[in-house]
């Protein structure tokens, strides 16, 4: 697979086959991603790979917090406090496209809630990666982390694997750190479901829209 195919064909996969992913494969993916760029070679990324019983326990803990109505306490604000255009419209369209693919109507609150809870089940993926960054680092290192996460997703495609980066699984960072034995010095950036996509599932057969190049790019010569 060439780089253009890997980028253009990547989607946030939300349904996976019940098929394990070997540690060797995950190691090869991370061994590739570690060559991502970072300012002055700080390499700020820390990764926890969670599978099997550990993944089941973590999923149960997150679902329990939701069931108890515990408010999320993420380590940072991913989204703006107030949505403005054009981002508000893009967010709305993204949600509508997802619910349409799942066959969920706008007024079906129960099914919408179930769809949201599937985030904490990692969409049935056999692997979840959790990305941490030292709390003493600053915005530049977060940019580096983003490039590293993208490298992981693209490298996974070389092995026939698909992924879904999940900000939602960072809603309860203290619970994740406790389950995984990670110290509070490490901020939880996000999780990532990884596995073999269920390509027949409707949720994996739609694409979100993208703006044309001339809508976000200006040329200066």
Q: Which domains, ranges and CATH numbers included, belong to the chain? A: 11-207 (3.40.109.10)
Task: Give the residue among 160, 142, 154, 162 at the shortest CA–CA distance from 205.
Answer: 162
Separation of alpha carbons 212 and 179, rounded Å: 43
Q: Which residue has the tokens 């070679």?
A: 41
**Residue 106 scores a pLDDT above 90:** no
**Residue 57 scores a pLDDT above 90:** yes
**Residue 53 scores a pLDDT above 90:** yes
* pLDDT tens for each residue of 128-173: 999 999 999 999 999 999 999 999 999 999 999 999 999 999 999 9
**Residue 184 scores a pLDDT above 90:** yes
Q: Which residue has the tokens 């979100």?
A: 208
62 contact partners, CB below 8 Å, separation of at least 6 = 120, 169, 171, 172, 175, 176
Question: Which of 17-21, 88-92, 104-108 has the lowest average pLDDT?
Answer: 104-108
- Residue 215 has a pLDDT of 96
- Residue 107 has a pLDDT of 84
**Residue 1 scores a pLDDT above 90:** no
- Residue 3, φ and ψ in degrees, nearest 5: -65, -40
Distances (CA, A) of 58 to 68, 131, 168, 181: 16, 15, 14, 12
Cis (ω within 30 of 0) for the bond into 86?
A: yes
- Residue 30 has a pLDDT of 98
Over range 205-213, report the average pLDDT: 93
For the chain, what is the mean pLDDT?
96
**Residue 2 scores a pLDDT above 90:** yes
109 contact partners, CB below 8 Å, separation of at least 6 = none
The pTM of this model reads 0.95
Separation of alpha carbons 194 and 190, rounded Å: 13
Over range 81-100, report the average pLDDT: 94
Task: For residue 220, give both structure tokens.
Answer: 């200066």
Spell 62-94 as b/e; 16+ CB within 10 A means b.
beebbeeeeeeebbeeeeeeeeeeeeeeeeeee
- Contact assessment for residue 192 and residue 150, using Cβ atoms and an 8 Å cutoff: no
């Amino acid at each position: 697979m060439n780089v253009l195919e890997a980028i253009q064909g990547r989607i946030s996969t939300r349904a996976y086959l019940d098929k394990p992913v070997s540690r060797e494969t995950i190691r090869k993916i991370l061994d590739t991603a570690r060559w991502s760029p970072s300012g002055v070679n700080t390499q700020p990324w820390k990764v926890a790979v969670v599978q099997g019983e550990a993944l089941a326990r973590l999923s149960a803990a997150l679902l329990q917090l939701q069931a108890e109505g515990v408010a999320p306490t993420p380590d940072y604000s991913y989204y703006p406090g107030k949505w403005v255009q054009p981002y508000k419209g893009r967010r709305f369209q993204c949600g509508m496209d997802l619910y349409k693919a799942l066959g969920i109507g706008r007024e079906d609150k129960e099914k919408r809630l179930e769809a949201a809870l599937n985030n904490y089940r990692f969409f049935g993926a056999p692997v979840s990666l959790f990305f941490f960054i030292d709390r003493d680092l600053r915005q530049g290192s977060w940019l580096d982390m983003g490039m590293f996460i993208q490298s992981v997703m693209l490298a996974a495609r070389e092995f026939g694997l698909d992924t879904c980066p999940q900000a939602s699984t960072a809603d309860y960072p203290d619970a994740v750190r406790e389950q995984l034995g990670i110290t509070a010095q490490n901020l939880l950036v996000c999780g990532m479901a990884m596995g073999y996509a269920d390509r027949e599932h409707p949720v994996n057969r739609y694409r979100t829209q993208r703006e044309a190049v001339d809508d976000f790019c200006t040329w200066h010569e």
